[in-house]
């Protein structure tokens, strides 16, 4: 399970970096979103990948066998903040496109 999580984080990070290097603003926004999701998966993986384990303490349960709820709470908070940031980026993208007439990151039009 850990190898699948590591591969997913690596693929999402590489795709996000590739999209960040693209000339269009929409691709940059999607790249930032992919990077934030990769970081969320990384934080979630730091808490330990455990299946069929309760996240709360019950009588007679060993503390080492519990899932850590702190990374889960951090990831949930990061997802909410990521949605708000992506919405803000999209509004700025639309305003920039309306003012300049193109959506290139460097402000130039299509190169021929």
Question: CATH no. for residue 20?
Answer: 1.10.287
User: Is position 62 within any domain?
Assistant: no
Distances (CA, A) of 54 to 45, 50, 71: 16, 9, 15
User: Is position 30 within any domain?
Assistant: yes
Q: What is the pTM of this model?
A: 0.75
Residues in the chain: 112
Alpha-carbon Rg for the chain in angstroms: 19
User: Is position 60 within any domain?
Assistant: no
- For the stretch 1-46, pLDDT in tens is 789 989 999 999 999 999 999 988 889 999 999 999 999 999 888 8
Please name the helix (run of DSSP H) or strand (run of DSSP E) that holds residue 86, with its range, or none.
helix 69-100
- Both tokens assigned to 5: 């999580």
User: Is position 111 within any domain?
Assistant: no
- For the stretch 75-107, pLDDT in tens is 899 999 999 999 999 998 889 888 888 888 876
């Amino acid at each position: 399970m850990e190898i699948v999580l590591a591969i997913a984080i690596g693929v999402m990070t590489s795709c996000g970096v590739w999209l960040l290097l693209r000339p269009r603003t929409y691709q940059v926004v999607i790249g930032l979103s992919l990077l934030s999701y990769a970081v969320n998966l990384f934080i979630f993986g730091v808490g330990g990948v455990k299946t069929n384990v309760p996240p709360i303490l019950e009588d007679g349960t060993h503390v080492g066998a519990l899932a850590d709820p702190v990374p889960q709470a951090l990831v949930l908070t990061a997802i909410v903040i990521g949605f708000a940031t992506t919405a803000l980026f999209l509004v700025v993208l639309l305003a920039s496109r309306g003012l300049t007439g193109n959506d290139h990151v460097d402000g130039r039009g299509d190169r021929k």
